Chain A
Amino acid sequence: MTGAVAERVALWRRGPVSYRDRSRRVSRTFFFHFQASRIHPFSLTPSYTLGLGVLSALMFVVLTVTGALLMVYYVPSVERAYSSTADIMYVVPAGRYVRNIHRWAAHGMVLTVVLHMCRVFFTGSYGAGRGINWLIGIGLMILTLLLSFTGYLLPWDQLSYWAVTIGANIASAVSDLPAAAGLESVDPGRTLRLLLLGSQIVGQDALIRFYLLHIVLLPLLMAALIGLHFWRIRKDGGLTRPREAERVPDSVVYPRGRPEDLILSWPVLFWAEAAVVSLATAALLLAAYALDAPLLSIADPTAPENPAKAPWYFLGVQELVSYSAFGGGVLVPLLLSLGLAIIPWIDREDRGLGIWFSDPEGARVAVRSAAAGMLATVAILGPAIGIGTGRAWLRVMHPLIPLLINPATILVAVIAGWSALVHRTTRSTRCTVLAFFTASLIAVVLVTAIGLWFRGPDWQFILPGSSAGDSGQ
């Protein structure tokens, strides 16, 4: 059988047979050539990858398709944004279903991208020359969050309006630092706010900007970075794997594993991916069928909801911002992103590469760091919630002090201190970054949980279930 037509027919009729046929099938088909024609069998271990990378990519595809469908009816004008979204929900055939899929895929993508980062981190897969791809991954996570943010602004309901207002003011809060230092003329926050809103008020100019970001700029950037991310996986020699997984250790001649160690992607890898994709799609469709994406009442510039809660993935930021706009909204997110970004350059040990937590010591460090992170979060936020942050008292000394010293920044400082302590005792950079990552992760999860379940009207501390604290988003 020769000739392109004959081969394509054969693909569907009986599949390629010979090894050469099979590998050619992958490299010559557009939708398969993103992947290597041969992979290491370890890359198929479900408990290793958890399919999270594939899931994240799937969510992006689903979001692109459903997003394009929603654009058929959505109108990005302040007058019509809400009514067109309501039309999609209540009038357009299958509109509610498509919007639900879009919303739950967006939530799913935040979840899978963060979990994917955790998987990559805990298996040490940022090592062995994969630093650049880790960095691209961090960029993709930030883009995912920005896309989510710009997305829930578009319906112009109560959530949208107050999220734009708060987001723009967090951007303005960048200037709190120079202002507190006595440099009122240095005002980058004003420029940033103008760039976001296109005006001094939250209105049509802001909506069209966020729409443009959501449907053009951020998705294009994301698609480009996803391409780069995939390409780097190939260039870095496929997924990481433990040394024990090699029958013959990697060599200079075969940096991606010896050919006899590899298996053909067709069809094994594609079966595995098809399984993950089908299960996730099924779950998504079921969720979209059972649960409606929220649409609050139309934007009311005179009264936010009480409490006005962001979607769950931003409740951590909202909780931190409730201690300090600059500390929680600017400084801590910046420090955490920076800390994440430099991990591959802090830890270059490649210790226990491809093994969860590297080794028993790494696992011990992770467990202790989780406990330390939990303890630190409760010990710092507990008193802050119980007796207040003493801002008024701190401000008497100097306006800079409450900006730099508040529960949010103290928490980061304690986590950094804990990481330094672990470094002193273990003398291992892998253990240091394990301590930093695990403690930060636990802190973020706990702070998010406080925002989600323990905050009620007026952002007062409540016990879960004692009142309608959960916004259900």
Chain B
Amino acid sequence: MKMKLSGSSDSSISRRSLAFFKSSTELVILLMASSKSPFLTSSDSQFLFHPVDNAAEHTPLDHHLARRRFLTRLTAGTLGAGAMLMLAAVLRLPFPRVRSQSDVVRIGRAVDYPLHRYTFVAGSNVFVYRDRKGIRILSAICTHLGCVVRASESGFHCPCHGSRFDRHGDPVSGPAGRPLAWYHAERAADGVLVVDLTRRVSRHRVLGV
């Protein structure tokens, strides 16, 4: 049963793509053959769309040449358009559909973090700052080119290109232009801190203890 289902869905996909291919090919031919088409000269379109009009003025050779020109352009155009369509479809491949999904990490209980200092949480690359008011979460990812910064006496420094940030995560010197990000934190039912690494908050936002 399962086999049959998957087989039928496969064939419906191929049927649909075949139908799509047919209709797009027809569209291409139609567009190329339309009287406004850039692929046709006025005499071509005249020949095609008004074959009886002033037929007497055209010799058989004229007809033959117009026909040949039209067929040449039709072939080249179809091949070209087909190649472009295929290329467009194929070049789509290396761009996966990535959704910005929430990146939530659990970093333990608030009381386990020492007061008045930034504690690095290795797995999630954030610093936890705890004081009497509560908990704040600071990103450890350098805003310059994405290395992980280290805490120092005066703030944070990046080992890759020498960016320096003050104790609030604001850039002081070096190439980094933007401040380090502050993240949204919540307390789960079991009391563990949950940090959403995709949700930025103001630096003043504190999760009360």
Contacts and interface: CB of A to CB of B under 8 A. Distances in A.
Q: Which label, helix, strand, loop or mixed, suits the secondary structure of the A interface?
A: helix
B175 interface: yes
Interface of A: 162, 165-166, 168-170, 173, 191, 194-195, 198-200, 205, 209, 301-308, 318, 321-325, 328-329, 388-389, 391-392, 395, 399, 402, 457-460
B123 interface: yes
Given A322-B175, A392-B171, A170 B145 contact: yes
Nearest to A402: B177
B159 A304 contact: yes
A325 B162 CA distance: 12
Contacts of B94: 195, 198, 209
B95 A321 contact: no
B177 A395 contact: yes
Nearest to A459: B162
B146 A308 contact: no
B105 interface: no
A458 B175 contact: no
Nearest to A191: B95
Interface string B121-161: 01101000000000000000000111110100000011111
A54 to B, nearest CB: 36
B186 to A, nearest CB: 22
B98 to A, nearest CB: 6
Contacts of B177: 391, 395, 399, 402
Given A166-B146, A302-B125, A322 B174 contact: yes
Given A166-B145, A303-B148, 6 more contacts: A170-B145, A194-B95, A194-B96, A324-B175, A391-B171, A391-B177
A307 B173 CA distance: 17
Contact of A162 (B95, B123, B160, B162): B160
A277 to B, nearest CB: 38
B175 to A, nearest CB: 6
A169 B95 CA distance: 17
- When A and B form their complex, which 6 residue pairs have the shortest distance between CB atoms, in order from nearest? A459-B162, A306-B159, A322-B161, A169-B145, A302-B122, A169-B146
B100 A391 contact: no
Contacts of A169: 144-146
Q: Which label, helix, strand, loop or mixed, suits the secondary structure of the B interface?
A: loop
Contacts of B173: 388, 391-392
A323 B158 CA distance: 13
A305 B158 CA distance: 10
B206 interface: no
Contacts of B98: 194, 199-200
B95 A307 contact: no
Contacts of A301: 125, 148
A460 B177 CA distance: 18
Contacts of A304: 147-148, 159-160
B74 interface: no
Contacts of A168: 146
Contacts of B162: 322, 458-460
A401 to B, nearest CB: 11
Nearest to A302: B122
Nearest to A198: B96
Of the listed residues B96, B144, B145, the one surrounded by the most CB atoms of chain A closer than 10 A to its CB is B145
Contacts of B95: 191, 194-195
26 contacts: A162-B160, A165-B147, A166-B160, A170-B145, A195-B94, A195-B95, A198-B94, A200-B100, A301-B125, A302-B120, A302-B148, A303-B122, A303-B148, A304-B147, A304-B160, A305-B159, A306-B150, A308-B147, A318-B160, A318-B161, A321-B145, A322-B174, A389-B175, A395-B177, A459-B158, A459-B161
B172 interface: yes
B12 to A, nearest CB: 29
Contact of A325 (B157, B172, B175): B175
A302 B94 CA distance: 28
A402 B144 CA distance: 13
Contact of B175 (A205, A302, A306, A323): A323
B123 A458 contact: no
Contacts of A305: 159
Contacts of B146: 165-166, 168-169
A458 B159 contact: yes
Contact of B159 (A191, A308, A391): A308
Nearest to A195: B94
Nearest to A166: B145
Nearest to B122: A302
Interface in B74-101: 94-96, 98, 100
Nearest to A310: B160
A170 B162 CA distance: 16
B145 A459 contact: no
A221 B156 CA distance: 43
B123 A302 contact: yes
Contacts of B161: 318, 321-322, 459
Contacts of B157: 458
